[in-house]
Amino acid sequence: MTQRTYSIGEASRLSGVSVRRLRFYADEGLLPPAGRTESGYRVFTDSELVRLNLICCLRDAGLDLGTIREVLSHDLSLAEALKLRLEALEAEIAAQRRVASALRAALRSSDPTEADLRRYWTMTRLSQAERRSVVERFYQEVSDGVRIDPKWIHQMIDSSIPELPDEPTPEQCDAWIELSEILNDPNFIAQMRSNASEFWNRDGFDPAAYRQASDEMRLKAKEAIDRGLEPASEEGAALVQDWMETLARTLGRQPDATFKVWLLGKYTEHDDRASRYWELVAIMKGQSPQASPNREWKWVLAAMKHHLAG
């Protein structure tokens, strides 16, 4: 069956592709004309129009001319070509998300600098290994001059470095940027080192007992919250007394008035970034910030500040 023929102008009108673009595809070998008229003008048929439609689809999908040529010559299957383009497109999307996160972080300042933008951009591009090195450096600086159990440090590092997915959400990117700022803040590092020294450098400190007591106290606080008890309640007062005595025992101290004043000072000076730390880790894991143990410890903090002051 003889196919209908079209001049290049007619092919342009039918396809919506400009004559200039048709000539370009023809000259590149992507769309060879079915023939030429006696005057030398290109002639196209329905087959070329179908081929042109595929070229346009592949171009819209972002494939380069070389890949399209391989598909048309059957050196590369259509499925393989589309898979390659999808992978490239997903990588581009992930990169754009990182750019957006860096811009959002920089714009938190009313007058961002080029250094701010470079810092945020660098933070979003770090690999898993590089993110781990940031967290490791933080704990190395916190433990400088402090007799912290290396096993405890490793546990803290491992629990603080969730692996971000290949396509992290804007919230996950933002959480990492915020967390990295906390980890690189010299004042926060110094404060955490001071707190660690007051615990780990005491000869009577029992880290295993402290960890166990902390887990038990968090569960007690969870039960209190689930029962609708307020930190200022009588039950809260009982938990505060129990926790104070437990802390004194694990630190090798007496739960006397001096210890009570010291403990109130520690809770009063509590840096909210220490709590925010675990909320950000939860977000990076793809969880709600409430998935962190902060809810229970915020209840304990409020109870301690209220009843110790009283």
| High-pLDDT (> 90) share of the chain, % | 18
State how far the Cα of 86 lies from the Cα of 81, in Å rounded to an integer.
Answer: 9
The confidence score (pLDDT) of residue 161 equals 78
pLDDT range class, residue 275, cuts 50, 70, 90: confident
Tell me: the pLDDT tens digits for 177-236?
A: 888 889 999 999 999 999 889 888 888 788 888 888 888 999 999 999 999 999 999 999
- pLDDT > 80? residue 291: no
The confidence score (pLDDT) of residue 167 equals 63
Q: How far is CA 100 from CA 66, 86, 121, 162, in A?
A: 31, 21, 9, 21
| CB 278, CB 178: distance < 8 Å | no
The confidence score (pLDDT) of residue 293 equals 75
- pLDDT > 80? residue 5: yes
Two tokens, residue 109: 């300042």
The confidence score (pLDDT) of residue 138 equals 92
**Tokens 């969730």, located at residue:** 162
The residues spanned by each domain of the chain are 5-76, 118-309
pLDDT range class, residue 123, cuts 50, 70, 90: low
- pLDDT > 70? residue 128: yes
Stated pTM of the model:
0.58
Out of 3.40.50.920, 1.10.1660.10, 1.10.730.10, 3.40.220.10, the CATH code matching 5-76 is 1.10.1660.10
State how far the Cα of 284 lies from the Cα of 208, in Å rounded to an integer.
Answer: 28
Mean pLDDT (the chain) is 84
Structural element, H or E, at residue 5: strand 5-7
Tell me: the pLDDT tens digits for 7-58?
A: 889 988 988 889 998 999 888 888 888 888 888 888 888 888 888 888 888 8
- pLDDT > 80? residue 162: no
DSSP code of residue 290: G
Tally of helices (H runs) and strands (E runs) in the chain: 15, 3
Q: What is the mean pLDDT of residues 156-166?
A: 77
Least confident of 4-13, 104-113, 174-183: 104-113
State how far the Cα of 303 lies from the Cα of 288, in Å rounded to an integer.
Answer: 24
Q: How far is CA 233 from CA 49, 99, 200, 246, 268, in A?
A: 80, 48, 32, 20, 19
The confidence score (pLDDT) of residue 203 equals 81
Query: What letters, b where the CB count within 10 A reaches 16 and e where it falls short, cover 89-98?
Result: eeeeebeebb
The confidence score (pLDDT) of residue 182 equals 92
The confidence score (pLDDT) of residue 216 equals 92
The confidence score (pLDDT) of residue 41 equals 86
The confidence score (pLDDT) of residue 28 equals 87
- pLDDT > 90? residue 115: no
Answer with the residue of higher pLDDT: 105 or 142: 142
Q: What is the mean pLDDT of residues 156-175?
A: 76
Q: Which CB contacts under 8 angstroms, 24+ apart, belong to 127-136? A: 128/161, 128/163, 128/164, 131/161, 131/164, 131/176, 131/180, 132/157, 132/161, 134/180, 134/183, 134/184, 135/160, 135/161, 135/183
- pLDDT > 80? residue 176: yes
